[in-house]
Structure 1
Amino acid sequence: MILTNCAACAAPLAHTAPRCVRCWTRYCDSTCQHDHWRRGHKQMCKKIHRGGNAEQYNADKKYKEAVAVAVEACADDTKDQTCFICTQALHWKTKEGLVRGCSCRGTAGFAHVSCLAEQAKILVAEAEENNLGDKVLVERWRRWHTCSLCKQEYHGVVRCAIGWACWKTYVGRPETDATRGFAINQLGNGLDEANHHEEALSVKEAQLSLLRRIGAGEEGILVAQSNLASTYGELGQMEKALSVERDVYSGRLKFHGEQHPATLRAALNYASSLGSLKRYAEAKPLLLKTMPVARRVLGEGHRVTLKTRWTYASSLCEDPDATLDDLNEAVTTLEDARRIARRVFGGAHPITGGLGRDLIKARAALRARETPSPGSA
């Protein structure tokens, strides 16, 4: 269950918490349930039940809200455009507008969230129904987070809307169903992309608790821990993030070796937390070891490679013991990474923008170091 708080008093719930027998709304105890019934649940109970019960009803409601936010955010970009899937400006059924939250440029990549979701749903269903194997299923699952045209991940509020679309599609499956677990991942990551970090935290904590309860494998646990650590970091809980990311990196090295993409992502996350805690002496050697491996395994234009170089340059600039050579290296690294990011993702992408902002700071720091202070000999 992703509804992890009591509907009456908002207190955190155990997975065994009681629930309404009709609509499955969950409560701390019978006292909260009776109180909620008197305060209006009596009028809503049948409606929630008809909507697929509490979890489905909540997912559908949140999905519609997230789509509205995404459409509004993309309105200037999508004006006078049409969906590349259904070829309409307004969705024929939902009447929703268009979004574009990937790296497509020009007139490419405009779509309705509903169309993107339906396309992903159909492709995943075909893989499941025809027993096409895990490799095909994983590849088709990418449609829930990656644009089929530019091959880059969705970001921002568009990623959040697609996350809710994914969750509402698979929420009714058993808790042990792998696809339901994948959907929780998409929801948590989407909430983080839209800066809804408190909501993301409850989703990710619930997911990790579930995986441990049902005895999930080590891979699933590592993925859930990594996702949870990223949200700790977004919320400024850096010591918690660092502790989890250290364990994840160690686990990835043990199970996959240093050249596996998952290990490279874990190294980046671990180093980022070290940098946030100003532990540059630990972060820089890890990043120096990771950067050439990431470029060789993933390619220079991969987001993990670019973020690893970005994090390294930031560590050089922010270290109070940085030398003039360190600052020169930081500027050179950021200039090259930004050039590659602009080519791969476009100028409007968050990675490109972030690299540009840090490049301005690094150049300013370098100029300040190169310019003699007044009165110096």
Structure 2
Amino acid sequence: MILTNCADCQQHYWRSGHQENCEIIHRGGDAEQYHAEKKYKWAVAVAVKACAEDTTGQRCYVCFEGDAEEGLVRGCACRGAAGFAHVSCLVRQAKILVEDAEARDLDDDKWDRWYTCGLCEQTYHGVVYCALGWACWKTYVGRPETDWARAGAMNVLGLGFFEAEHYEDALSVLEAELSMRRRLGADEDHILSVQGNLATTYLQLGRLEQALRMRQDVYSGLLRINGEEDRDSLLEAHNLASSFISLERFEEARSLMRKTIPVAQRVAGEDAEVTLRMRWRYAEALCWDTAATLDDVREAVTTLEETLPTARRVLGGAHPFTVEVERNLGDVRAALRARETPPPGSA
């Protein structure tokens, strides 16, 4: 069938079910809300399936019910019988806290509860973060563009995509957020925050030079605004080192980490995730350089050996960062053995 004009299109799609679909979408809060609701349900199902082995037979720490209907998740640093929850219960908690803070005009708006566990106080990761990102977005998508919560929800959704390794989707959402914040005249620190998230996404997509340029701009901007002891400045130092390593600029990465690790240890503490991540990056910059000496590789092994037990204690053995450090330690130990073992027949 060839549709020759707009009226033909309208009549064809109306007869083929468009009227019914429009009514469903309208009841669901119009197109954006309807889409967000569908994606939220899908993301929850994905998260529940991914957590199924860990959550079988457990109970939600919020409502104390089991996993019979919705299913449970746990994507934080909780261990043992702690931290299991229905995504819907986590959503309800976050909404109540934010609504209460808004009603009382509090500076501490509890917004981080959208992506942080209320028990272990660590950030959710992977597909659980993604499900919470869709939950946050569907909660505030109906607000005006100028409302801070809508912009915040866009950010949580973009980072949720990143955590679930949907990097193209993350890029689309974060670019839209940056454009919106610029259009609305957001503060420089908000702009820098979104640019930092974009740079991390560029890195994952292989756009290494673009990531480095943006990362350098963000880091220098944060140093100027907040100083070197600010948490965001420390995180950006780590991220900048990551970009240097991706481009095999190892000496620059090492120099930056030698300068900022003592600051992180003093300000954030030895057990802080940012400190652990910095030490991990420093070890990478030491051992993967083709010009690395035997002492460099030994120092990398020592650094990772000191980092891994703390990561297990703070974040848990199943946390993606802990798993990555453990894997890297095995690789670096193997590299050290290869360097220390003389080739056959050399004696």
1:273 aligns with 2:282: no
Deviation at 1:42, TM superposition (A): 4.6
Higher alpha-carbon deviation: 175-184 or 311-320: 175-184
1:61 aligns with 2:31: no
Higher alpha-carbon deviation: 182-191 or 325-334: 182-191
- 5+ residue gaps, structure 1, are 1-29
1:105 aligns with 2:82: no
Q: What amino acid sits opposite 1:279 in the alignment?
A: R
2:122 is aligned to 152
Q: Equivalents in 1 of 2:269, 2:33: separation in Å?
A: 40
Q: What do you get for the CA RMSD once the two structures are aligned? A: 1.8
Q: Secondary structure at the match of 1:74?
A: helix
Equivalent positions of 1:212-291 (< 5 A) are 212-291=182-261
1:78 is aligned to 55
1:52 aligns with 2:22: no
Higher alpha-carbon deviation: 119-128 or 290-299: 290-299
Q: 1:233 to 1:41 in 2, by over 3 A?
A: farther
2:64 is aligned to 87
Q: 1:293 to 1:37 in 2, by over 3 A?
A: farther
Match of 1:338 among 301, 304, 308: 308
Q: 1:47 to 1:321 in 2, by over 3 A?
A: same
Q: 1:71 to 1:311 in 2, by over 3 A?
A: same
1:358 is aligned to 328
1:17 is aligned to none
Q: What amino acid sits opposite 2:265 in the alignment?
A: R
Q: What amino acid sits opposite 1:73 in the alignment?
A: A
1:122 is aligned to 96
2:3 is aligned to none
2:132 is aligned to 162
1:184-219, CA deviations, whole angstroms, 9 ceiling, x for partnerless residues? Answer: 111111111111111111000100011111111101
Contact 2:251 2:285 in 1 (8 A): no
| Alignment TM-score, normalising by the size of structure 1 | 0.87
Q: What amino acid sits opposite 1:151 in the alignment?
A: E
Deviation at 1:376, TM superposition (A): 3.0
Contact 2:77 2:315 in 1 (8 A): yes
Identity percentage of aligned residues:
60
Deviation at 1:375, TM superposition (A): 3.6
1:196 is aligned to 166
Number of aligned positions between the proteins: 340
Deviation at 1:35, TM superposition (A): 11
1:182 is aligned to 152
Contact 2:58 2:67 in 1 (8 A): no
Deviation at 1:90, TM superposition (A): 3.9
Q: 1:274 to 1:34 in 2, by over 3 A?
A: farther
Deviation at 1:374, TM superposition (A): 2.7
Q: Equivalents in 1 of 2:20, 2:208: separation in Å?
A: 44
Q: What amino acid sits opposite 1:351 in the alignment?
A: F
Q: Equivalents in 1 of 2:211, 2:127: separation in Å?
A: 24
Q: Equivalents in 2 of 1:218, 1:34: separation in Å?
A: 46
**Quick check: which one's helix share is greater?**
2
Deviation at 1:262, TM superposition (A): 0.6
Deviation at 1:233, TM superposition (A): 1.1
Q: Equivalents in 1 of 2:71, 2:289: separation in Å?
A: 46
Deviation at 1:46, TM superposition (A): 2.2
Q: Equivalents in 1 of 2:12, 2:177: separation in Å?
A: 26
Q: Equivalents in 2 of 1:235, 1:62: separation in Å?
A: 23
Q: Equivalents in 1 of 2:285, 2:24: separation in Å?
A: 54
1:25 is aligned to none
Q: Secondary structure at the match of 1:292?
A: helix
| Alignment TM-score, normalising by the size of structure 2 | 0.94
Q: What amino acid sits opposite 1:111 in the alignment?
A: A
1:237-268, CA deviations, whole angstroms, 9 ceiling, x for partnerless residues? Answer: 11111111111001001101111111011111
Q: What amino acid sits opposite 1:175 in the alignment?
A: E
Q: Equivalents in 1 of 2:342, 2:140: separation in Å?
A: 62
1:328 is aligned to 298
Q: Equivalents in 1 of 2:146, 2:190: separation in Å?
A: 12
1:26 is aligned to none
- 5+ residue gaps, structure 2, are 1-5
Q: 1:375 to 1:251 in 2, by over 3 A?
A: same
